[in-house]
Amino acid sequence: MAPTELHETARAIVAGHKGILAADESTGTIKKRLDSIDVESTEENRRFYRQLLFAAPGIEDSIGGVILYDETIRQSADDGTSLAEVLASKGVIPGIKVDTGAHDHAGYQGEKVTEGLDGLRARLDAYRDLGARFAKWRAVITIGDGIPTDGNIRANAHALSRYAALCQDAGIVPIVEPEVLMDADNTLEECWEVTTRTLHETFAALYEDGLDLQGLLLKPNMVISGKGCAEQASADQIARATVDCFLGVVPAAVPGIVFLSGGQSEVQATENLNAINRIGGPWTLSYSYGRALQASALEAWGGDPANAEAAQSVFVHRARMNSRAAAGEWSAELEQPVPA
């Protein structure tokens, strides 16, 4: 794939205020989601639920790409069409999660490093044959007493860059995801400082390895107060801090920044994205949400096939709200209940 094709794919994913559905939950994570609605996590239930989302009428108006899990990219819809092809037939670009998870970083107490580089070249070739045109690798940066350390940030940045280089060699657009977790009691200012350090180190590694910045997407956290912080920042404060942080460290060559929701509620993630787009920057500012796109739809489905259409309506509404936010045109008045 020529570099211009990587550029075109990266831009297409976020074109027209579209974003990404992160449907790449591991088998363990999707089990937790299904447990929450008292549905057994069988392969068939997982397949049916993902099919419900991917086949939702109108998904293509707000969703430009979907990140799949290894199991999902090998599954088919009821009519035998692969789930990747179900998406592609709507003009939605299929992607794939390729890391094998964050594990304890040896020698770094309380910190994680993401694994999965071994055999990645061959896996990328296989995923491309299965229809994937972009990939995702998530690094996890933890805020705590004396952490993150520079060594941990460097190790994760190096792994992200090695992964991204292998993706581009395989003709696959890499999503680079360095996530500063929002689970601690840190202030907005502390998140700003750690996010700046993390992104600076990440782009230093990408430059060093010769990555084509126009052929990748960045999936970062917003600059936000930790969940345990007594003083929670407003949407406007989050937006200003996020844009200011990114203007200092994210090159304008990056075609799109697709924010992760990081445990925010559905409406909070939409509101914050909208505030960020009200300010704007040199990049397309969009979304790559998992729970913040799926939570209400999962509840509406409840494991009952008779509820599939209602769940699809709820999901499409949520996607449309985020598309409006990616245009800076969302308002709370648009959050009307979707008829069952």
Would you name the residues annotated as active-site residues? 177, 219
- For residues 285 and 330, the answer to whether their CB atoms sit within 8 Å is no
> What distance in Å separates the CA atoms of residue 243 and residue 158, rounded to the nearest whole number?
24
- For residues 12 and 256, the answer to whether their CB atoms sit within 8 Å is no
What are the CA-CA distances from residue 168 to residues 59, 100, 254 (Å)? 27, 19, 14
Kindly report the number of other CB atoms within 10 A of residue 318's CB atom.
Answer: 25
What token pair was written down for 170? 């395989």
Which of 27, 115, 9 has the alpha carbon at shortest distance from 69?
A: 27
> What distance in Å separates the CA atoms of residue 6 and residue 308, rounded to the nearest whole number?
35
> What distance in Å separates the CA atoms of residue 7 and residue 244, rounded to the nearest whole number?
25
